Amino acid sequence: MNDYVIVSDATLDLPVRVIDEYDIRIIPMGVNVDNIEYNHYPDERELSIEDFYQKLKSGAISHTTQIRPAVFMDYFEEILKQGKDILYISFSSGLSGTYNTSQIVIRDLVEDYPERKIYGIDSMCASIGEGLLVLNAALQKQQGMNIDELRDWIETNKRRSRHWFTVKDLFFLKRGGRISSIEAMVGTALKIRPVLSTDASGKLAVVTKIRGSKAELDFMVTKLVEECADLTSQTIIIGHGDDIAQAQELENLIRNKYEVKDVIISKIGPIIGTHTGPGMLALVFMGDKKEV
The predicted pLDDT at position 218 comes to 93
C-alpha span between 136 and 198 (Å, rounded)? 19
| Contact (Cβ atoms closer than 8 angstroms) between residue 269 and residue 13 | yes
Residue 115 amino acid letter: E
> What's the burial of 14, exposed, middle or buried (CB within 10 Å: 0-12/13-18/19+)?
buried
User: Whole-prediction pTM value?
Assistant: 0.91
133 with 185, same domain: the answer is no
143 with 255, same domain: the answer is no
C-alpha span between 209 and 186 (Å, rounded)? 12
Domain edge (last residue) among 104, 126, 159: 159
C-alpha span between 10 and 26 (Å, rounded)? 6
Concatenate the DSSP letters of all residues of 188-212 into one string: HHHTEEEEEEE-TTS-EEEEEEEES
Q: Is residue 38 part of a domain?
A: yes
Contact partners, residue 2, CB within 8 Å, separation at least 6: 141, 144, 146
The predicted pLDDT at position 176 comes to 55
Positive or negative torsion for Cα 64, 67, 69, 74: positive
* Rounded (5°) CA angle 110-115-120: 40
Residues 177-199 as b or e (16 or more Cβ within 10 Å = b): ebbeeebbeebeeeeebbbbbbe
The predicted pLDDT at position 148 comes to 98
14 with 155, same domain: the answer is yes
Q: Is residue 133 part of a domain?
A: yes
155 with 165, same domain: the answer is no
C-alpha span between 140 and 92 (Å, rounded)? 21
Domain count, the chain: 2
147 with 13, same domain: the answer is yes
User: Could you tell me which residue, 31 or 200, shows the higher pLDDT?
Assistant: 31
70 with 118, same domain: the answer is yes
172 with 251, same domain: the answer is yes
**Residue-wise pLDDT tens digits, 213-234:** 889 999 999 999 999 878 899 8
Residue 27 has pLDDT above 90, yes or no: yes
Count of CB atoms situated within 10 Å of the CB of 140: 16
Identify the domain containing residue 66 by its residue range: 4-159
The predicted pLDDT at position 292 comes to 41
213 with 266, same domain: the answer is yes
90 with 134, same domain: the answer is yes
Of the CA atoms within 13 Å of residue 155, those in its CB half-sphere come to 10
The CATH code of the domain that includes 261 is 3.30.1180.10
Q: Is residue 291 part of a domain?
A: no
C-alpha span between 284 and 41 (Å, rounded)? 22
Local structure of residue 278 (DSSP, 8 states): T
- Where residue 59 falls (left for φ over 0; alpha for ψ -120 to 50; beta otherwise) is left
Domain edge (last residue) among 99, 134, 159: 159
Q: Which of 137, 174, 176, 169 has the alpha carbon at shortest distance from 154?
A: 137
Domain edge (last residue) among 121, 142, 159: 159
142 with 11, same domain: the answer is yes
Confidence of residue 100 (pLDDT cuts 50, 70, 90): very high
Residue 17 has pLDDT above 60, yes or no: yes
> What percentage of the chain exceeds 90 in pLDDT?
72
The Cα-based distances of 288 to 127, 160, 225 in angstroms read 20, 6, 12
The CATH code of the domain that includes 126 is 3.40.50.10170
Concatenate the DSSP letters of all residues of 50-66 into one string: HHHHHHHHTT--EEEEP
48 with 37, same domain: the answer is yes
145 with 190, same domain: the answer is no
Q: Is residue 145 part of a domain?
A: yes
